[in-house]
Structure 1
Amino acid sequence: MSSREVAEIPTGPVPVPPAVQALACDDVVTPVWRNELGGLTFRLESPGGLTRYVKWVARGTPVLDLAAEAERLAWAARRVTVPRVLASGEDADGTWLVTASVPGRTAVDRRWSAEPATAAAAIGHGLRVLHERLPVGDCPYEWSVARRLRRVDQRIAAGEGPSSWFPEHRHLTVADARARLAEPPPVERLVVCHGDACAPNTLLHDDGTFAAHVDLGSLGLADRWADLAVAAWSLDWNFGPGYDHLVYSAYGVEPDVERLAYYRLLWDLA
């Protein structure tokens, strides 16, 4: 891995922000996820059995825009299974988004870590469902290469370089990497992309079939390979090598080596 923070299920104590504690009232609060930028997700379980989830982001955290995610979830919910937005807000410390529970377990749950081939197939099928059902012509959001390259340039200007990249790209200089990104391949098929199709953001039913998508804060129009590249790559991080072909097979495509390489480099630097 790189020197960046790693998204993970918290294993130690996690301070509960006051806003989350206030939202919980008498609910049991359990931290369930910490993303690579420091955002936290908590599960709230009421005495009556109601389960909600709260995403909380410290004020000033780059990239993570929970208001934008709330909009995208509401838009996507008309055609695909995603968490229903219950509330959102902000205070001096940060912002939060409260969503209803949806059936299923994340693909990186222990249940599916023991059956990575099943998880990989569900991820590929789930992406196909998303890309087929969400209408390109009605989508008001974009996740274009041009937009993402602006983020790349911000990070480069801030001094980030190979030491913060994944091992696959550390042999490149900043100039070489940026030059490669300046020449994107033509869009093969424009779809509404998830925008963060890493394995943890797909949920599976207990029978191993695709259930739902979560974390749609970057959802928008892009080449479908922008999603496929990261979804398949993330299996290496979560399960080890050897499962990416199952994503392509379940989606129904043959791997496009050029587009996979481009969109993985873009993901890494952006």
Structure 2
Amino acid sequence: MSLRPPLAFIPAETGTIPASVSRMAGDQDSEAVWINQAGGTTYRIGAGTATDRYLKYAPRGTADPDFAAEALRLRWASEHARVPEVIQVGSDESGSWLLTAALPGESAVSGTWMKRPELAARALGAGLRKLHESLPVQDCPFEWSVGERLRAFEQRIAAGEGPENWSGDCVHLGIGEARELLSNPPLPLDLVVCHGDACAPNTLLDGHGNFYAHVDLGELGVADRWADLAVAAWSTAWNYGSGYEDHVYAGYGIEPDATRIGYYRMLWDLS
């Protein structure tokens, strides 16, 4: 499938700090470290201090993230895997937020690992395997199923979106053809607890380039493991350039499955 642009990026400068962010930062420094396409911003507060933490903030009127649902997923996953500790979830008249404690790992898209993409891509796969093996699928109360994601596709169609709004290899599809393809996932399903957004920016590495932790688990839930794998490998092309996807599969310890990769990338794009 074709490449697609990343949906989030590191800002060149912090810009104006919202009042609610400044209030939570108090007398500590805060800086914007990540901006997503929907208008949300992640701030780092108190970098290098004992109270180093991250605040995901969504202004009122932007896409409405369910930070309470993400907090539930983080708290559940924290019993089995290394993920950020939830400090606070809240909202006011200006927006909503999720405050978590910082972890000592470094993002796989930091300057350090952008220079060593093979190592980072392999760690991305190894970390995803560890997550899938650590989270108990039988006990997971959350889902990220095809059926649930197809409802999101239908919501996009109902809102007036169509092929002209789609990207990559999906632009040539009609709505009916896309619906038919999405309604027939490859079987049998190989169910695990998926991250839901297992891209390179959401993977933290230690100082040696080994997997350390995952962040941003707002979509965590039971799904076919390829729903994570296909997009995790794809994200290396968005962040590092072409040629690194096989390192993700090698790190995970699995051979690429072209059928499942194609299906779950299409599902990602259209839902």
With the shorter chain as reference, the TM-score category is over 0.9
Structure 1 residue aligned with 2:102? 101
Structure 2 residue aligned with 1:223? 224
| Matched ranges for 1:1-270 at <5 A | 6-45=7-46, 48-62=49-63, 64-270=65-271
* C-alpha RMSD of the superposition: 1.7
Aligned pair in 2 of structure 1 residues 46, 182: CA closer, same or farther (>3 Å)?
A: closer
Letter in 1 for 2:93: A
Letter in 1 for 2:222: L
Larger CA deviation: 41-50 vs 128-137: 41-50
Letter in 2 for 1:56: Y
Q: Give 1:185 deviation, angstroms.
A: 1.4
Q: Give 1:256 deviation, angstroms.
A: 1.0
Number of residue pairs aligned between Structure 1 and Structure 2: 269
Q: Give 1:179 deviation, angstroms.
A: 1.7
Measure, in 1, the Cα distance between the counterparts of 2:141 and 2:123.
27
CA contact (8 A) 1:26 1:46 kept: no
Moved over 6 A (4+): none
Task: Give SS of 1:192's match.
Answer: strand
Measure, in 2, the Cα distance between the counterparts of 1:130 and 1:232.
15
Aligned pair in 2 of structure 1 residues 46, 125: CA closer, same or farther (>3 Å)?
A: closer
Letter in 2 for 1:198: C
Q: Give 1:60 deviation, angstroms.
A: 4.9
Measure, in 2, the Cα distance between the counterparts of 1:74 and 1:47.
24
Aligned pair in 2 of structure 1 residues 220, 187: CA closer, same or farther (>3 Å)?
A: farther
Aligned pair in 2 of structure 1 residues 23, 197: CA closer, same or farther (>3 Å)?
A: same
Measure, in 2, the Cα distance between the counterparts of 1:63 and 1:221.
23
Measure, in 2, the Cα distance between the counterparts of 1:191 and 1:165.
28
Task: Give SS of 1:147's match.
Answer: helix
**Identity of counterpart residues, as a percentage?**
53
Q: Residues 27-77 of structure 1: CA distance to partner in whole angstroms, max 9, x if unpaired?
A: 101100011222110000168553111001123544621111111111101
Measure, in 2, the Cα distance between the counterparts of 1:152 and 1:127.
26
Q: Give 1:6 deviation, angstroms.
A: 2.9
With the length of structure 2 as denominator, give the TM-score of the two structures.
Answer: 0.94
Task: Give SS of 2:42's match.
Answer: strand
CA contact (8 A) 1:39 1:55 kept: yes
Aligned pair in 2 of structure 1 residues 147, 60: CA closer, same or farther (>3 Å)?
A: farther
With the length of structure 1 as denominator, give the TM-score of the two structures.
Answer: 0.94
Larger CA deviation: 43-52 vs 209-218: 43-52
Q: Residues 192-251 of structure 1: CA distance to partner in whole angstroms, max 9, x if unpaired?
A: 000011110000011000010000000000000000011001111111111111111111
Measure, in 2, the Cα distance between the counterparts of 1:13 and 1:217.
24
Letter in 1 for 2:210: T
Measure, in 2, the Cα distance between the counterparts of 1:252 and 1:163.
37
